[in-house]
Every structure is written in C-alpha cells, then in structure tokens.
Chains A and B, each alone.
Chain A
Amino acid sequence: MHLEIKHLYKQFSARGNTIVALKDINLHVETGELVCAVGASGSGKSTMLRIVAGLEQPTAGEVLVDGQPVIGPGADRGMVFQSYTLYPWMTVEENISFGLKLQGASLADRFEQACYYMGVVGLSQFAKALPRELSGGMKQRVAIARALASQPKILLMDEPFGALDVQTRETMQGFLIDLWQNTGTTILTITHDVEEAVFLSQRVYVMSARPGTIRQELVIDLPADRNEAVRRSSTFQDYRYAILDLLRQPVAVGA
C-alpha cells in the first residue's frame, strides 16, 4: 500500500466568493502506518480526506493509491465519518457485513467476517442489536468494523471520536491503537485534537487554515505500545506543545 497526495488544490465557489480550501497539499502514507493530519477548524481536513476517498474532485493535483489515480469512491479506501452513518434498519451484524454483501460475497463468508470483526471491536454480544440501541462509542466501533470488513487497503477516518466525551474518547483511542497493532491496517485519520494526534500516530501532518496547507510533518518517536504512561511522559508533552506552537503561528505573508 502506498498512498500519495501530490500538489493537491481545492477551491470552492460560494455566492461569487472563491474559497481556497486546500493549497498545494503533499502527503504520503505507507503500508501499516498510522498517520494523522491535525489542524484547526476550517483548515480543509475533511475536504482532503473526502478527496482521498473519491467523494470530492480536486481542483488540481492528484491522489494515487499504489500508483493508480483516484477517480471516485471504492472499497479499497474505507471511510469512517464523524457523524453516525450506520444503517438504522440493519442489526450490528448486518451493518458490518453489508460491504461484503455489496461486493457479492456468499452468506457464509459474510457471517464469518461479521463474527470476526464483531470480536475485533468487542461487540459480539450485540450482534442482533439495532444501532439506536448502542452508545456513541459503540456505534463508532461498528462503523470501524464495517469499514474494515470490506478489506480496504487503507482506512480513512474523519474525526471518528469527535462526538464522544473525554473518557470514551480516550478508551476509543486505546482501542484504535490495539486494533491497528492487531490487524496491521494502514490508517489515515484527521483530528483537531492535538493530544489525540500525538497519542495515535507515527507521523503527524500539521495543517494551517485559510488557505489549508501543510505546515510541517513530524515523526512521533514514542514507544509503539502507547498507553497512559506514554501520555504522561515529557516527550509526549513536548510533541504536544510543538504542534500547538505550530498551530498558533500566524500565516506567513506570501507563504
């Protein structure tokens, strides 16, 4: 797996005004990496991720997955949205295996995969529950399992824990780290939560707003086994402050 974003630009025109949402974005993700883009609201994170998913067309530049240009959405790039997008009429099990159903997998295969991924996200007892019977954190775990069950090359996540409270959010971060280590999935996630970015990632792209650009790339050199001790370490805090400083810098004139 090799994801590459090359010289990506995106403009929106709304009521006669042109908004430059993304300006010359360059970024890459390699097999098995967990990479995070962090930026303030309006820095174009969602737009960037949607272009990678193929849900939006770039104004200029391109996105390559294993050398192939992205022209539209496909099962090779799974996506988890910030809002809850589970199908309300399907049970947890049906939600998780729906991607395989769309791709024409047999009933037996679907059942097997659904069972496996329900186990991965720890929701086996809720196989027959409807989404409305789940808490927010559980819904997002189902959404992650649903995306993973289609066997994507890369998992894209748009602030997946943004709607959760602090405690649930930290639990889910630990859950995501475990999942990533156990399944070896390649993940590109975006967030405005600096701590979350440092805790999860091996590399962080710091984005600035108006126009959305990548200000800096940071390699997060923390132990692979992220836990609460890591969160409290001084190295962790150093990274956090470094990113906060980058986010605070005014936009350089002419940059």
Chain B
Amino acid sequence: MSDPVLIPHDPPLVRNPGPARMLRPSVFWQIAEDLPPRLSWILMALSIALPLVLWAIVASSGLVKSLFLPSPAQVVTAIHRLWVSGALPVDIQSSLLRIMGGFALATAIAIPLGTLMGTFASIRSLMEPIVGIVRYMPATAFIPLLILYFGLGELPKILLVFVGTLFFNTLMVMDSVKFIPKEMIEATYTLGGNRWQVLLQVILPYIMPGIIDTCRVNMAAAWNLVIVSELVAATEGLGRRISVAQRFLKTDEIFAGLIIIGAIGLTIDILFRLLLRYACRWSVKA
C-alpha cells in the first residue's frame, strides 16, 4: 500500500559531540517534584523572616529617618496601641464587612453565570462581548458614578467591590469549564443523563476546585478596591486608617495598617486552601 521510505544518504554528522551529558540530580532545582516537607517549611519561614530582618537592620542603622521607616518594634507598638484603643477592631470589621458583602454578591452571580457561559456556546456568545468590554473598564473609574448614585454610605463601597470582582470571577469560572473532557459529558448522556443533570451533577462538581481557586485569587482584588473606596470617603476602615495616619505623619500606623491587611489576606487565602482540600479532596495532590 505505502511506498518504502527512501533514505537518500546517512544522517548528517554532529562535529565534536563531546562526552555524553547527563542531568545532575538536584533537590532545590528539581522541576515538577515535591520538596521534602522540612526543606519546604524552612524556605517558607525564610520568605517571611528575611525581609523582616532586613527591615530591622535598615531601620536600626539610622540610614533612614524613623519618621519614614519605623522599626518593627515601633510598628508592633502601634498595632498594640490601635488595638487597645478599640480603633483597629472597628476598622477591620468595617473593611471586612464591605469586602464580604461585595464579594459574596459577585460570586453569587459569577458562579451560575460563568458556568452557563462555559457550558452553552449560545449563552457565551450572548454574554461574552459585553462582559469582555466592561471588564476593561477600571473598577475605580466607577467611583464617581457610585458616589453620585448612592452617596457616601456603605452601599457604594460594597458595590465597588462587586463591580470590580464580578467580571473576573465570571470569566475565570467560565474558563474552568473548558477543561472538562467532552467524552465525560458524552459518557453521561449514554448513561441516560439529560442536559440539566450534566450541568448540575457533572460540570459543577468538576469545576468546583476551579471555582474555589478563582475566589482565592480574586480576593486580592477585592482588598484593593475596598481600600481605595475608603481612601475616597469613609469614617472607619483600614484604608481610612492609613490615609488618616498619612495626614498626621504617623508612619508607624501606615505600616501597621499594611501589615494587618497582609495578615488578613493571608488568613483568607489559607482558609480557601483548606476549603479546597476539604471539599475537593479528589483534586488535591495526596
């Protein structure tokens, strides 16, 4: 049937090939392998400890005025002072409530909308252009409008977080549907499943890890937005705390605010990771 393959001449020679090269084993630089847990913990501790030490050294060296760079001890004192005075708990609470409100609203819409867009090409064609356009409008550019419509209360701040995370959440949820093998859906049809069952009992469980990860990643954007909204107009909140501190040149309180935001962010991140591990055990590497 097929003609024999004719090889016209010998393959070209490589000049000076040298001794055979072999990949040397390495623990630190290994690709796509897990680190030994001990080493992993040590490196992770270093990741936090090193900048802290560096900060302490620079602050105590006197190279930078303490007005601009307070020492770690001064910042700890500031956190303690703000906490005891009762200002910090109120700030944390109000910022968190705004984030939770806006983000919960955004995910409540993004999960069904993104899933539908990922599943049905028709819904995708219907929604993707408009979502794609609005996504490029910076959420912060909506602040004037939100203030104009809803004043200076809680609602515009919640809505800013909502607007700023809705579209990314939707598109990322939509994307996670792409990775489901077509044959898994077809197998469900041959087991007697209808489209509704495929959507709820096959696609949704399959993308659940993707949904949780989407939330985890986009939570950072939510923090960004809430801080910006508080810089503009608020009587309390971590963003407000930072802008007041700047006005009175309290650098230690600016640092305190930033560190608290980082710590809460990290906590939420870890909570999402635990949720993934608990709710989608099948998708987490053992």
Q: Which A positions have Cβ atoms within 8 angstroms of B?
A: 53-55, 72-75, 77-79, 81, 83, 85, 87-89, 98-99, 101-103, 130, 132, 143, 146-147, 150, 156, 248, 250
Contact = CB atoms under 8 A, between A and B. Distances in A.
B205 A81 contact: no
A142 to B, nearest CB: 12
A130 B193 contact: no
Does more than half of chain B's interface fall in helix, strand or loop, or is it mixed? helix
Interface string B176-203: 0000010110111111111001000110
Contacts of B246: none
Contact of B201 (A75, A79, A102, A103): A102
Given A89-B283, A130-B282, A248-B1, A102 B192 contact: yes
A79 B197 contact: no
B280 interface: yes
Contacts of B190: 53-55, 73-75, 77-79, 147, 156
Given A101-B201, A147-B190, 9 more contacts: A78-B191, A85-B181, A85-B186, A87-B205, A89-B280, A98-B201, A102-B191, A130-B282, A146-B191
A143 B197 CA distance: 19
B206 interface: yes
Given A88-B283, A89-B280, A250 B192 contact: no
B280 A83 contact: no
Interface in B268-284: 280, 282-283
Nearest to A132: B282
Contact of A98 (B1, B183, B191, B280): B191
Given A102-B197, A250-B1, A73 B184 contact: no
A73 B190 CA distance: 5
Contacts of A53: 186, 190
A248 B194 CA distance: 43
A102 B194 CA distance: 8
Contacts of A75: 190-192
A77 B187 CA distance: 11
B18 to A, nearest CB: 37
